[in-house]
């Protein structure tokens, strides 16, 4: 197909497509004349992935590039590929390793991960994210206790097992990443909305009222 058709079918302006080619996110089309190139379904598929990363994941071009390179590098296994995308999508924490309070919170996190036996890399950004929440809770005089965490761990496990089970193993690696990104970002919103609704329902049942 010509670039105009690729634009129509992907919903992206020709200029944007040319920008992605210049940035090395999208392979060039096969040259059919000096100023003409032919594109195929692999280009369309790649544009859909880029669009999901940009519009749903709200990722900067540099992160998109890293993920797209990992998709193309068949030496990278699916676990590491999904990990690359997940790390890029993770909100970043603001670690304060100089502060004793921070180190205590981070040690709590490491102890919990070890106790659960979870396979989470030692430098995963999620460890800092959790430590940041622990620190804020402690500063409000709300200590982290195991009984308090249990329901969240149980809920996270139910969700994660379902989500990883839903990653398509057959077919294109880019498609697996696309599904994982959409799930990561959009089902996070689904989860947060449902939690708030379930809170309102549980509050109505416990405290009555006009709900």
Q: Which of residues 62-81 bind a second copy (CB under 8 A)?
A: 77-80
Can you tell me the distance from the alpha carbon of 34 to that of 94, in angstroms, rounded to the nearest whole number?
Answer: 51
User: Does 159 sit near a second copy (CB under 8 A)?
Assistant: yes
Binding a second copy (rule: CB under 8 A), the pick from 98, 165, 170, 171 is: 165
CB of 173 to a second copy, least distance (A): 12
Q: Where are the alpha helices (DSSP H) in 30-77?
A: 41-51, 61-72
| Farthest-apart Cα atoms in the chain, separation | 74
Can you tell me the distance from the alpha carbon of 23 to that of 101, in angstroms, rounded to the nearest whole number?
Answer: 43
Q: Which stretch binds a second copy (CB under 8 A): 17-25, 31-39, 66-74, 115-123?
A: 115-123
Binding a second copy (rule: CB under 8 A), the pick from 19, 61, 96, 179 is: 179
Beta bridge partners of 37: 31
Can you tell me the distance from the alpha carbon of 78 to that of 84, in angstroms, rounded to the nearest whole number?
Answer: 10
User: Does 1 sit near a second copy (CB under 8 A)?
Assistant: no
Binding a second copy (rule: CB under 8 A), the pick from 23, 103, 124, 172 is: 124
Q: What is the DSSP letter of 99?
A: S
Instruction: Specify the residue, 28 or 79, whose C-beta has the smaller distance to a second copy.
Output: 79
Least Cα distance to 83 among 39, 121, 127 occurs for 121
Instruction: Specify the residue, 33 or 141, whose C-beta has the smaller distance to a second copy.
Output: 141
Burial 182-200, CB ≥16 within 10 A → b, else e: ebbbeeeeeeeeeeeeeee
Q: Which stretch binds a second copy (CB under 8 A): 22-30, 36-44, 97-105, 182-190?
A: 182-190
Q: Which stretch binds a second copy (CB under 8 A): 18-26, 36-44, 57-65, 137-145?
A: 137-145
């Amino acid at each position: 197909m010509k670039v105009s058709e690729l634009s129509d079918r992907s919903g992206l302006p020709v200029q944007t497509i040319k920008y992605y080619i210049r940035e090395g996110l999208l392979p060039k089309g096969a040259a059919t004349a000096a100023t003409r190139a032919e594109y195929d379904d692999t280009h369309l598929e790649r544009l859909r992935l880029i669009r999901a990363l940009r519009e749903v994941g709200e990722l900067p071009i540099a992160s998109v590039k890293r993920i797209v390179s990992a998709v193309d590098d068949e030496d990278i296994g699916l676990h590491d590929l999904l990990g690359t995308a997940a790390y890029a999508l993770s909100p970043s924490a603001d670690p304060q390793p100089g502060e004793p309070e921070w180190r205590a919170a981070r040690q709590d996190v490491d102890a919990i991960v070890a106790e659960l036996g979870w396979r989470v890399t030692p430098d995963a950004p999620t460890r800092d994210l959790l430590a940041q929440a622990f620190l804020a809770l402690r500063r409000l005089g709300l200590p982290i206790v195991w009984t308090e965490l249990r329901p969240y761990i149980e809920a996270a496990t139910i969700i994660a097992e379902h989500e990883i089970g839903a990653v398509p193993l057959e077919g294109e690696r880019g498609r697996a990443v696309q599904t994982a990104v959409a799930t990561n970002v959009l089902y996070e919103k689904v989860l947060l909305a449902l939690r708030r609704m379930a809170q309102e329902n549980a509050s109505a049942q416990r405290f009555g009222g006009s709900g």
